[in-house]
Amino acid sequence: MAKAGMNGRSLTNKFAKLARKTGAGDSMATSKFAEIKDYLSTGSIMVNLICSGKVDGGLAVGRLAMFAGAPGFGKTMLAYATMKEADKKKYTSFLWDSEYATDRETLLKLGMNLDDIIHLNEHEIGKIKEQFMSFSSSMEEGAEDKVLHVFDSAGVWTTEVGQTKEAEGNNAKDFTIFTAKKSLGSMIMRESGKRGMASLIINHTYANLGGWGDSTAVAGGGLLYIPSTVIKITSKAKLEDKAKNKVGDICTVQSHKTRLAKGRTSVKFAIHYKYGILKYYGLMEYALAGGYVAEVKAGRSIVYKKQYEIDAIGVENAKAYKKLDIVALYHDESFFGEIFKNSDFGAYVEEQFQYNTGTGTAPSEEEQAAITEFYEKEDASHVSNETCEEVKGELAFTEEAMGYVEESSPQKSPTQQTPGVRTSGRGADASFTVTEK
């Protein structure tokens, strides 16, 4: 006769405990590697949204991202803006300038704090690996060090083999380069996750002449598949003021790969020659579609007006307002900043980019605190080879306390509730009791 196995939850507890003891991992509810502790804004809300699905999001700390695009399409400007936002959060930025193209004057004009930027010039992959690991290994796991690595760019990375061929005047192709790039990208990805660092690789694109798929492709072979987020800047147009003078560039960017927002989404962001990345550019179409902004005709012009202000003063009075220029609309806080502050526009626009396939059963804050207390006491006891039932008995940590229903529990009608037991999605009934014996 076969021996009866553990039920699902008890078996999960057993394996989670084993994973903690071996250092291999933890349950998903408490794994430190499954939590994104912070985001670094790119300076553009639209780019933040396609990277993370969050207005205040952007690059996820503890993950590797890639910005790809043709020369002059704004990749490096986005990276600089991210570094500037990181500095506001007291991060130390490493700028791996493989192109030898960064200068202090440009960074100062962008308002960046040079004291918190480590500038490194290296393009040989083996040396980048060695230097990167020396910095990474000096950080303690879980030490809450705030670090951002920016690699500009992968397109000029070389190998020792390739450099030897160049020195010898040998124009033969370096067949080791793609494997080397993938290996470096994989190492950056792993170390970023282990040490809680944010990392960004800037990459080039080239024309896809095969007639299949996108008109441009990202360089680097297998390197493309390493980052958890890849966005590609696909085109550039003129940004003009009211007098039709060119004052910057409008860039179209597509999410090539992402795990935090809807994929294959295209948006626009703008770079102003004087003000840099325009924080709010690209939001107007969503504000109009959601009814947060209205177009009011004033003579030959169209005036954008906040809908709640029109409701207060009337359409006729709104016509008296002058047409706002692009700086007032997309850079100053007086227009979109006020809309975010005085309405639910932030939640509305996030819904357009986030996955919404259902609600899981992640622990509430109270449950999380109880789980953490349980694990701390369990680890402090240093008891080995207990069964899951014995471990639970130490704290009377029952299945009901965890908020789960056993598979063997009798079925209840949808209207029947059991105190302390979760019967639907998150927040259905978060009440529970944990009692020490």
Give residue-wise pLDDT tens across range 123-143: 999 999 999 999 999 997 666
* Structure token digits, residue 433: 């009791």
pLDDT of residue 77: 97
pLDDT of residue 383: 41
Asked if residue 11 belongs to a domain, the reply is: no
Residues 265 and 363 in one domain: no
State the CB neighbour count (10 A cutoff) for residue 262: 15
- How many structural domains does the chain have? 3
State the CB neighbour count (10 A cutoff) for residue 365: 8
Asked if residue 59 belongs to a domain, the reply is: yes
Residues 50 and 156 in one domain: yes
Instruction: Tell which residue, 66, 111, 118, 112, has the closest CA to residue 92.
Output: 118
Task: Supply the CATH number for residue 52's domain.
Answer: 3.40.50.300
Q: Decide which of 330, 357, 384 is a domain's last residue.
A: 357
User: Whole domain around residue 171: which residue ranges?
Assistant: 36-278
Three-state secondary structure of the chain: CCCCCCCHHHHHHHHHHHHHHHCCCCCCCCCHHHCCCCEECCCCHHHHHHHHCCCCCCEECCCEEEEEECCCCCHHHHHHHHHHHHHHCCCEEEEEECCCCCCHHHHHHCCCCHHHEEEECCCEHHHHHHHHHHHHHCCCCCCCCCEEEEEECHHHCECHHHHHHHHCCCCCCCCCHHHHHHHHHHHHHHHHHHHCCEEEEEEEEEECCCCCCCCEEECCHHHHHCCCEEEEEEEEEEEECCCCCEEEEEEEEEEEECCCCCCCCEEEEEEECCCEECCCCCCHHHHHHCCCEEEEEECCEEEEEEHHHHHHHCHHHHCCCCCCCHHHHHCCCCCHHHHHHHCCHHHHHHHCCCCCCCCCCCCCHHHHHHHHHHHHHHHHHCCCCCCHHHHHHHHCCCHHHHCCCCCCCCCCCCCCCCCCCCCCCCCCCCCCCCCCC
**Rounded Cα–Cα distance for residues 111 and 277 (Å):** 12
Tell me the CA end-to-end span of the chain in Å, nearest whole number: 36
pLDDT of residue 1: 46
Q: Decide which of 278, 304, 328 is a domain's last residue.
A: 278
Residues 328 and 381 in one domain: no
Residues 169 and 315 in one domain: no
Residues 213 and 289 in one domain: no
Residues 104 and 41 in one domain: yes
Residues 317 and 428 in one domain: no
* Structure token digits, residue 159: 């190998």
* Residue in the structure block whose two tokens are 């939001």: 283
pLDDT of residue 400: 44
Residues 56 and 69 in one domain: yes
The pLDDT tens digits along the chain (437 residues) read 444 555 556 788 888 888 888 777 888 888 877 889 999 999 999 999 999 999 999 999 999 999 999 999 999 999 999 999 999 999 999 999 999 999 999 999 999 999 999 999 999 999 999 999 999 999 976 667 999 999 999 999 999 999 999 899 999 889 999 999 999 999 999 999 999 999 999 999 876 655 556 777 787 778 888 999 999 999 999 999 988 999 999 999 999 999 999 988 999 999 999 999 999 999 999 999 999 999 887 677 777 878 887 888 776 666 655 678 899 999 999 999 999 999 999 999 999 999 875 566 666 667 666 666 665 665 555 444 444 444 344 334 434 444 444 444 444 444 444 334 433 433 343 333 333 33
Q: Decide which of 357, 372, 397 is a domain's last residue.
A: 357
Indicate the burial class of 36 (C-beta count within 10 angstroms; 0-12, 13-18, 19 or more): middle
Instruction: Tell which residue, 425, 426, 422, 431, has the closest CA to residue 404.
Output: 422
pLDDT of residue 359: 62
With b for 16 or more beta-carbon neighbours within 10 A and e for fewer, the 60-86 pattern comes to: bbbbbbbbbbbeebbbbbbbbbbbbbb
Asked if residue 22 belongs to a domain, the reply is: no
HSE value, Cβ hemisphere, 13 Å, CA-based, for 185 = 28
Asked if residue 73 belongs to a domain, the reply is: yes
